[in-house]
Structure 1
Amino acid sequence: MADPITISLGCMLYDHTEALLGGGVDVAGVELRAEPSHDVADLFRRVVERRGPDVAELGFTFLLRSMDLDDPPLVGIPVFMMRKFQHSVIYVNEASGITAPADLAGATIGEFAVYGHDMGIWPKGILADEHGFAPERSRWLIGGTDEPMAPMDFVPQRHPDSVDVRHIGGGAALGPMLEEGRIDALISAVPPAAVLRGDRGVRRLFADADEREADYHRRTGIFPIMHVVVVRRDLLDANPGLATALYRAFGESKAVAEQAYRAGRTAEPSAPWHFAQLLDRRGVLVDDGRHEHGIAANRAAIDTFLRYHHEQGLSDRRLRCEDVFAAELLDT
C-alpha cells in the first residue's frame, strides 16, 4: 500500500483488542477509525447488511453463510476473536430424564438466537462425532435465553428439511421454558438464569464438563472458534497487502495482552485467556499455539467447523480454508 487509507474497525472490546482499538498498536499504511461495540448482535447485523465497519468481528457461521451468495462480500482474516469449549453449553431439565447424549433423541431442544449459531454448531458436531447424535431426531425451538429475542432475519434461517425448527416468537424465552419443562434441553452461549441461581431443576448435561473439555483439547488439539475477523472484499481487492497489515496488527495487540496476562497485570482476562488459565490449572499445555491466530495453528479447528457447517445443512458445499480466508494469509 502506497498512500495511507482510512478504514473503520468494529469489534467487541477484549483484552486482546484493547491495544489496537486504543491506538497503542498501528496498522501499517492505515489510519484506523476504531468503533468498539457493546452489542454484538447489532454489529453482526450491520456487517451482514453492508452498513457496518470496513473490518469487523463476525460470527464464523455468518461469514460462511455469506459464501453461498453469488458475489460473497466478505473475506476472512485468520484472527479468532472469541473461542469457547463446548461441553459446558448444553443444559437439561432434571425432570426430562436426560442423563446422557443418547437421551436427546426425541427431545425438544432450545437453541439460542438462530439454528446453527456458532455455539450451536460445535456441540451438535461434537455430539455427532463422539455420541452418534443426529439433530433430525429432535425438535428445535429458537429464541433468546432469558429474554425474548426477535429472529435474526438478516441471515438466512437455513436448516435441512428433515430437521423440525421454529422460532418461539412472542414474549417467550428459552431459559424459563427449560425451567418449566416446556423444553427438555437447551444449547446456549448464554448460561440460563436457573443455572446461575443454582436451581437444581436445571443442570448441565455433562456434570464433568470441565474434565471433558480438557480431554477433548488433549485428544484433538482443537480450541473451538466462534468469532473471526472479516474485511470487505472490495477493500482488499483495492489495497494489496491490507490483509497482512491487519493480521499483524491484531497479532501485536494480542501479544500486548498476553504479556500483561503473564506478568499478572490482567486480573480477569477475557476469552480466550481465561480458558487458557483454566486449562493450565488442569495441566494442559497452553503454550503450544492452539490459542494463536493464523491458519497453521488452527487448521484442525477450522476444518472441523467447516465440516460441521456443511453436515448440518448450513452451507451448500463443504468449504475449505481457501474459500474463506484471504489468499495472502493462507501460509500463516
Structure 2
Amino acid sequence: MRGMTPLTAVSRTQGNNRAVKDGSITPAGFRLEFEEVPVLVQAFRRMVRDLEFDVCEMAVTTYLCAREHGVRFTALPVFLVRGFHHGAIVVNRRSGVEKPRDLEGRRVGVHRGYTVTTGVWARGILADEHDVHLDEVTWVPSGDEHVATYVPPANVVPAGPGADLAAMLRDGEVDAVVGAL
C-alpha cells in the first residue's frame, strides 16, 4: 500500500459499489478509506459545510446548491441512485385538493429542506406537467438546508424544530406533503 494516496470516502453500500467498498476492486494509486455515516444526508451536510471528505456521495441538487453558494468542489457524473418522484406527494383527503393546481394557495410540507432532491423534482413536475404556480404555494420544510448559506424564497416557511409532517398533514396544518412521511 506504499505510494497509495489515501482518500476518505462516504457512500451507502449497495450492489453497484459493494466491490469498491469491500476492497475487491481498488482504484490504481489510491487507498479508499470509507467512513460509514448511518444517515447519508448527514454526510452531505458535513461535506458542503466543512469539505470533510475527499469523496462523498451526494444528491445532485445538494451539489448544485452548494456550488451556487461558493463551495469549491467538483462532481463526478456517477449516479448511484436514480428515481422518479411523480408519486412523492401525499394529500390529506379532507383538504379539498383534487388536482395539482388546487395546491395553489395551500400549505405543502416538504420532507427535510426546500432544496432536497425529492422536493425539487416534485416542484418541477407540478410546474412543468400540471402548470402549478409554485410561488402561490406556501412550502413548509421540516428541517434545515444542507447548505447553511442558502436563503429560500419568501413563500418558504419552516415548520420548526421537531416538526412531524405526518401529524401536521393529519391535523390539517398542511394540505399535502412532498417526500417521506
On whether the aligned pair clears a TM of 0.5, the verdict is yes
Q: Deviations over 1:238-296 (max 9, x none)?
A: xxxxxxxxxxxxxxxxxxxxxxxxxxxxxxxxxxxxxxxxxxxxxxxxxxxxxxxxxxx
Distance in 2 between residues matched to 1:116 and 1:78, nearest whole Å? 20
Structure 1 residues 107 and 37, CA, compared in 2 at 3 Å: closer, same or farther? same
Distance in 1 between residues matched to 2:162 and 2:76, nearest whole Å? 38
Q: Deviations over 1:137-161 (max 9, x none)?
A: 1111110xxxxx5x23643333334
Distance in 2 between residues matched to 1:47 and 1:170, nearest whole Å? 22
Task: State whether structure 2 residue 154 is matched by structure 1 residue 187.
Answer: no
Task: State whether structure 2 residue 77 is matched by structure 1 residue 78.
Answer: yes
| 2:92 equivalent in structure 1 | 93
Native 8 Å contact 2:115 2:145 kept in 1: no
Distance in 2 between residues matched to 1:111 and 1:157, nearest whole Å? 16
Residue 37 of structure 1 deviates from its aligned partner by 2.4
Residue 76 of structure 1 deviates from its aligned partner by 0.6
| 1:50 equivalent in structure 2 | 50
> Helix, strand or coil: the match of 1:9?
strand
Task: State whether structure 2 residue 159 is matched by structure 1 residue 168.
Answer: yes
Distance in 2 between residues matched to 1:73 and 1:16, nearest whole Å? 27
Native 8 Å contact 1:105 1:137 kept in 2: yes
Residue 126 of structure 1 deviates from its aligned partner by 1.4
One-letter amino acid of the counterpart of residue 101, structure 1: P
| 1:103 equivalent in structure 2 | 102
Distance in 1 between residues matched to 2:67 and 2:41, nearest whole Å? 20
| 1:67 equivalent in structure 2 | 67
Native 8 Å contact 1:115 1:157 kept in 2: no
Native 8 Å contact 1:21 1:36 kept in 2: no
> Helix, strand or coil: the match of 1:31?
strand
One-letter amino acid of the counterpart of residue 25, structure 2: V
Distance in 2 between residues matched to 1:49 and 1:98, nearest whole Å? 38
Native 8 Å contact 1:13 1:36 kept in 2: no
| 2:14 equivalent in structure 1 | 14
Structure 1: segments with no counterpart, 5+ residues = 144-148, 193-332
Residue 172 of structure 1 deviates from its aligned partner by 2.6
Native 8 Å contact 2:48 2:146 kept in 1: no
One-letter amino acid of the counterpart of residue 159, structure 1: P
Residue 9 of structure 1 deviates from its aligned partner by 1.2
Distance in 1 between residues matched to 2:17 and 2:146, nearest whole Å? 29
Instruction: Map 1:207-246 onto structure 2 (within 5 A).
Output: none
> Helix, strand or coil: the match of 1:19?
helix
| 1:23 equivalent in structure 2 | 23
Structure 1 residues 80 and 121, CA, compared in 2 at 3 Å: closer, same or farther? same
| 2:168 equivalent in structure 1 | 177
Distance in 1 between residues matched to 2:81 and 2:96, nearest whole Å? 33
The aligned length equals 179
Q: Deviations over 1:15-63 (max 9, x none)?
A: 2221111111111211111223211132112111225220011121221
Residue 170 of structure 1 deviates from its aligned partner by 3.7
Native 8 Å contact 2:10 2:34 kept in 1: yes
Task: State whether structure 2 residue 35 is matched by structure 1 residue 35.
Answer: yes
Native 8 Å contact 2:66 2:147 kept in 1: no
Structure 1 residues 56 and 64, CA, compared in 2 at 3 Å: closer, same or farther? same
Considering Cα pairs closer than 8 Å and 6+ residues apart, tell me whether 1 or 2 has the greater RCO: 1
Q: Deviations over 1:93-147 (max 9, x none)?
A: 000111111111111100011112111111111121111112111111110xxxx
- By percentage of residues, which structure has more helix? 1
> Helix, strand or coil: the match of 1:82?
coil
Give the structure with higher Rg (CA). 1
Distance in 2 between residues matched to 1:171 and 1:4, nearest whole Å? 44
Native 8 Å contact 1:105 1:133 kept in 2: yes
> Helix, strand or coil: the match of 1:7?
strand
Q: Which moved more, 1:22-31 or 1:45-54?
A: 45-54
Native 8 Å contact 2:8 2:35 kept in 1: yes
TM-score, structure 1 as length reference: 0.51
